[in-house]
Amino acid sequence: MPRAHPRNRILAALARAPPPRRLWRLLSRAIGDLLPKGLYARSLIIIIAPVVLLQSVIAYTFMERHWQLVTRRLSAAVTADVAALIDVYESYPQDKDAETLTRIAGTRLNLDLDILKGATLPVAGPRPFFSILDEVLSDEIRRQIRRPYWIDTVGRSSLIEIRVAIPDGVMRVTARRSMAYASNSHIFLLWMSGSSLVLLGVAILFLRNQIKPILRLAAVAESFGKGREIEFRPRGAREVRQAGHAFIEMKRRIERAMEQRTTMLNGVSHDLRTIITRFKLTLALIDQTADAEDLQRDVDEMSRMLEAYLAFARGDSGEPAVPTDMRALLEDLRTDMERLGAHVEAVEIEGDSTVTLRPDAIRRCLFNLAANAARYGDTVAVVGRREVRSFLVSIDDDGPGIPPDQREEVFKPFVRLDDARQDAGGSGLGLSIARDIARAHGGDVSLHDSPLGGLRATVRIPA
């Protein structure tokens, strides 16, 4: 089978490749998954990344240009001295033992000179993995001396040894490392790194003080969403204070709306209760016929519906949130249910049972759910368990249950099902009140299939 032309294969690969915009989105998403999610960590990256980049560029420029340039010039000077010693040794044979040359090298050039007659160069060892001096000095020897040589730049840290082949042996020259290498350049790097650490420490300290008001605002907003009493005074930068004042104003508007609603409902309840009371008095004075008894039942139903509606609309916002032992609260719930004749099979608690909440409101929420379970089932089981950031209470029954497609509908006010769990005799507000109370704490109520065969109502309360 003939192979495709290379150009055709390249075009086909480009056609299969994702478009640039999609590729950019994928790359951005991958980078976003690797980056931290917290504001404090991201702010640190915004501060640290430019500093590290700047220091890296400066260090590379210094190492590449200044450090290597100085090292090359120093190595060239030492190599020139060694070349001069070789030229003098070969040009003046009258100094047979090279005593004068050795003295001049030691006193004038600060070099230790030895003539090893009849010797040969050692076997070349492995070159250092990273040594500017070894590379630069080797280049200068090859350029200026042009003879077989052997050098050792790592054997003794403070000295370097150069051996060059001469006609009658080997000339060995030992010099201080600082003569051929810019050994004090690390001081610049240390000062640069030290000053960067100090500046980063100061920046992190100030940044932490700027992040604290934002975290405080988030915590206060979360507490307010859970229905807890809060005390908050905006602090920090101007923009953070503006956000804090906006939150306080929003909180005041919400509280004012709730107060107005409660006041209006109190007035409505007073007027309606007055009318219902007149109905009851009139029914008590007339003859107790079958029609009067039916009317009495209607009035009682109206009274129950009115109380349920007012309780649903008013809520329990006036109750403060306090640390509550859920174990004791569930035991009280079991006692109340048994007093009403319901059979509660078990009450179990897993983990720590202390939660900050409004106890009367939660007791009412759980009682509504348990009473609903007892109305349609013979057995009720209550289980509480601690999770990472919440406390869950599950109420199971062995009743007929609710179809999955209708489980959200039952939470709507005054909704009654036409099937197995029709709310006979109720106002249709029990589940609505339960969810309203749970959501006022920042949680929720959900319905699922029960292991007992009926319905499971799960209350999630933020811990």
User: What is the tens place of the pLDDT at every residue in 176-209?
Assistant: 888 887 666 667 777 878 888 888 888 888 888 8
For the chain, percent of residues with pLDDT exceeding 90: 4
Question: What's the token pair of residue 391?
Answer: 């406390």
Mean pLDDT, residues 402-419: 75
Residue 159 — pLDDT band, cuts 50, 70, 90? confident
Residue 185 has a pLDDT of 62
Query: Residue 423: pLDDT above 50?
Result: no
Residue 316 has a pLDDT of 54
Residue 424 — pLDDT band, cuts 50, 70, 90? very low
More confident residue, 97 or 313: 97
Residue 129 has a pLDDT of 54
More confident residue, 310 or 455: 455
Query: Residue 23: pLDDT above 80?
Result: no
| 114-123, 129-138, 159-168, 319-328: least confident range | 129-138
Residue 135 has a pLDDT of 82
Residue 420 has a pLDDT of 44
Q: Are the C-beta atoms of residues 212 and 236 closer than 8 Å to each other? A: yes
Residue 415 — pLDDT band, cuts 50, 70, 90? low
Does residue 445 lie in a domain region? yes
CATH code of 411's domain? 3.30.565.10
How many CB atoms sit inside 10 A of residue 176's CB? 15
Mean pLDDT, residues 258-286: 77
Mean pLDDT, residues 418-435: 62
Does residue 204 lie in a domain region? no
Does residue 213 lie in a domain region? no
Residue 457 has a pLDDT of 92
Does residue 145 lie in a domain region? yes
Chosen domain end from 182, 207, 239: 182
Own/partner pairs, 257-263, CB within 8 angstroms, 24+ separation: 258/315, 258/317, 261/313, 261/314, 262/314, 262/317
Does residue 220 lie in a domain region? no
Domain that holds residue 418: 321-462
| 43-52, 120-129, 213-222, 229-238: least confident range | 120-129
| 24-38, 80-94, 430-444: least confident range | 24-38
Distance between CA 366 and CA 434 in Å, rounded?
Answer: 7
In total, how many domains does the chain have?
2
Does residue 265 lie in a domain region? no
For the chain, percent of residues with pLDDT exceeding 70: 85
Chosen domain end from 182, 208, 223: 182
Residue 43 has a pLDDT of 79
More confident residue, 130 or 191: 191
Query: Residue 139: pLDDT above 50?
Result: yes
pLDDT, tens digit, for every residue of 358-386?
888 888 888 888 888 888 888 888 888 88
Q: Share the mean pLDDT of the chain.
A: 79
CATH code of 172's domain? 3.30.450.300
Chosen domain end from 140, 167, 182: 182
Does residue 424 lie in a domain region? yes
Does residue 240 lie in a domain region? no
Residue 425 has a pLDDT of 46
Query: Residue 148: pLDDT above 80?
Result: yes
Query: Residue 17: pLDDT above 60?
Result: no
Residue 295 — pLDDT band, cuts 50, 70, 90? confident
